[in-house]
Chain A
């Protein structure tokens, strides 16, 4: 009979989690009680984390294509939800989830910096700007 863990969010909502899913979290693993309060994490976010744990507890094989697609969907959320998920996953020390979330943030930053590249180039282009000015003046 597997144990059932109770996770309590900062707004006092309790989530019941099966042992297999709960033990994905190092914090829970090393905790002596089965009732853990997660500070600073609201129910909405904690619910999503629990959902991820449940999904990953069912299928052992993380290389499965379906799981990968599900994971990709899972991390395509708004920036502020993403950051809150990272805080929660970090507190609960769920390495795989933290890795997936941080990879997503990394990819978002990568996509952003490509745009800002166009903005940084003018600083190196002083000579060309001078030439273009002269061109526009008719030289």
Chain B
């Protein structure tokens, strides 16, 4: 009897102690949880890089609502720095007999499994999201089991370049165009088609197939945002056998191709398009031919009208047009250690002004790739060895900042949470 009573009183004491401890813990917690004003939450989240922002969506409902707001996404985009996006081919798996692993399939048979040397992180094939938009396949699709190319980006911070990963692989060999964080890739599962992807949010959509072109260099895609209507437009420019250009446009709101009258100023020759177009000053700009070209073909995004704009000087091998501070810039190698930067004043014949001359440490094979939208530096890459350089306008200095092996085609890009879907559609996958 005595034993039970002391036991029960002991138990009671334990329970009391526990309750008390819990209460003080809760009080301590409450003292620690301070509330931040709502607009400060937007202020804080806007400072995060796009990949952290993507994860922060799932923290709580208020954060989810802040992040999915198109105005917030736009504000975040405006403060995000440019990066270069490119594809890296998957190193061929080693089929050496010793390193061969065996995988057991459903029916008990064994299959050889190639050891993927590069598989430190598991990469999601972009195309699998086209098949299964709302789930993750367990055994994968046979065509997609060997990733062809990995999507990566190069960012520039503190005077050096770093490679960033998206954890995505794709079958296409080309990034066709980029705009505000969205990229256009070849759709290898649908001949002649393209897909629109945001590599940060991993949202992807396949566009209907437009006019088919036999040869790669006879077509080019441009991607731009219309300032007036706020819709994203994909522009498909193509050459026929006679060298005449045709054009069709797809708006991401309506997802149907419509033909527009192409540039009417004569033949473009059979050499076709060398580079992806540059989006600047409310228009898309193409340079045709590699050497000796004398003009830029520009298309106003809103009016969908073509212009032929003469270049201030002839375009040669390592010269390029790039977007600089919202305007179209023409970066030309005048001489050894002499690069000139011209800015286009307008599309209606206003001409170019020579804005700057780089006279330090510039080599003849330095190809300008993009300008950093926040910092303002111009990023160059040497054709000889793939090393990257940044030119700082304030300091007037050219600094080497890194290197990538091989010379993958890089396009200017920005990591953002931009989506083509309307605000009412839920972007929560």
A residues sitting closer than 8 Å to B (CB atoms) are 79-80, 83-84, 86-87, 90, 98-99, 102-103, 105-106, 109-110, 113, 116-117, 120-121, 123-128, 130-131, 134-135, 139
A130–B103 Cα distance when bound, in Å, is: 10
Stretch with Cβ within 8 A of A (4 or more), from B31-39, B81-89, B316-324, B408-416: B31-39
Give A86 Cβ to nearest chain B Cβ, in Å: 5
Are B48 and A80 in contact, CB atoms less than 8 angstroms apart?
Answer: no
Q: Is B229 an interface residue (CB 8 A)?
A: no
Are B47 and A106 in contact, CB atoms less than 8 angstroms apart?
Answer: yes
Chain B interface main SS type? mixed
7 contacts between A and B (CB under 8 A): A87-B40, A99-B43, A113-B51, A113-B52, A124-B136, A127-B122, A128-B119
Instruction: List, in ascending order, chain A residues with CB within 8 A of B47's CB.
Output: 102-103, 106
Among B49, B51, B102, B122: residue with most chain A CB under 10 A: B122
Are B48 and A106 in contact, CB atoms less than 8 angstroms apart?
Answer: yes
Contact among A80, A86, A128 with B37 in the assembled complex (CB-CB below 8 Å) = A86
Are A124 and B122 in contact, CB atoms less than 8 angstroms apart?
Answer: yes
Mark interface residues in B1-43 (1 if CB within 8 Å of A CB, else 0). Answer: 0000000000000000000000000000001111111011001
Are B33 and A120 in contact, CB atoms less than 8 angstroms apart?
Answer: no
A106–B104 Cα distance when bound, in Å, is: 46
Contacts A109-B56, A110-B49 given; indicate if A126 touches B44 (C-beta within 8 A): no
Q: Is B428 an interface residue (CB 8 A)?
A: no
Contact among B36, B110, B119 with A83 in the assembled complex (CB-CB below 8 Å) = B36
Q: Is B139 an interface residue (CB 8 A)?
A: yes
Give B248 Cβ to nearest chain A Cβ, in Å: 37
Q: Is B138 an interface residue (CB 8 A)?
A: yes
The chain B residue sitting closest to A84, CB to CB, is: B34
Contact among B32, B104, B122 with A121 in the assembled complex (CB-CB below 8 Å) = B122
A22–B138 Cα distance when bound, in Å, is: 62
Contacts A106-B48, A113-B56, A134-B103 given; indicate if A127 touches B34 (C-beta within 8 A): no
The 8 closest A-B pairs by CB, nearest first: A106-B47, A83-B34, A113-B52, A102-B43, A80-B32, A102-B44, A105-B44, A125-B122
